[in-house]
Amino acid sequence: MRSRFATRSARLALAAVAALALGGAATATATADTAAGGDRTTQSCATGDLTFRVTVKTQAAGYYLITAKAKPGIVCHLEGVFPSASFGSAPHTAVSPAEHSVTDDVVLGGSAVAYAGISPKSTNNDNGILFDRLHLSVAGDETNAVTLRLPDTAKVDRPIATNWHADAADAVPFVN
């Protein structure tokens, strides 16, 4: 006589529950999307779920505005933290946070977009190294980073980035 846990899917589900019980508590990464209708839950965005665009802005001594949009058929959210980005492979070309706290998550899907601002130079001197590309990923998904060609050559010295925002006006990285 077969038990009701004999099917493959039931065995996999039972194994997953057992693994969670043995491994401790698991943290869910999905959050409720209250802005788009209430009861829907979204997954965290991975770098591969998104398309990116870089534009040059002149406000705040000049910065790059990164626009992220979900690929067709994908609904996900970007956490309100700064993106993982660097202009080169050296540690001093990696961006640091321009904001001191986490902001609201941004739900992407359809025409919704998220914005982050990256200032390649946060120092007040003539130092810097020239780069024409930006390596970018969603925080936590660094192994799947994309390389974006910049619209112009950037002089990089202690770059900073804002968190992801739903409004481009909130993604201006003001340099102190």
> What's the pLDDT tens digit per position in 12-60?
333 333 333 333 333 222 333 334 444 457 899 999 999 999 999 998 8
162 phi, psi to nearest 5 deg = -80, 170
Q: What is the pLDDT of residues 56-109, one digit of tens each?
A: 999 888 999 999 999 999 999 999 999 999 999 888 999 999 999 999 999 999
Whether the predicted pLDDT of 7 surpasses 90: no
If one compares 176 and 72, the residue with the highest pLDDT of the two is: 72
pLDDT at residue 13 in the model: 38
- Enter the tokens of residue 145: 């980073």
pLDDT at residue 42 in the model: 87
pLDDT at residue 137 in the model: 97
Q: What is the pLDDT of residues 130-172, one digit of tens each?
A: 999 999 999 999 999 999 999 999 999 999 999 999 999 999 9
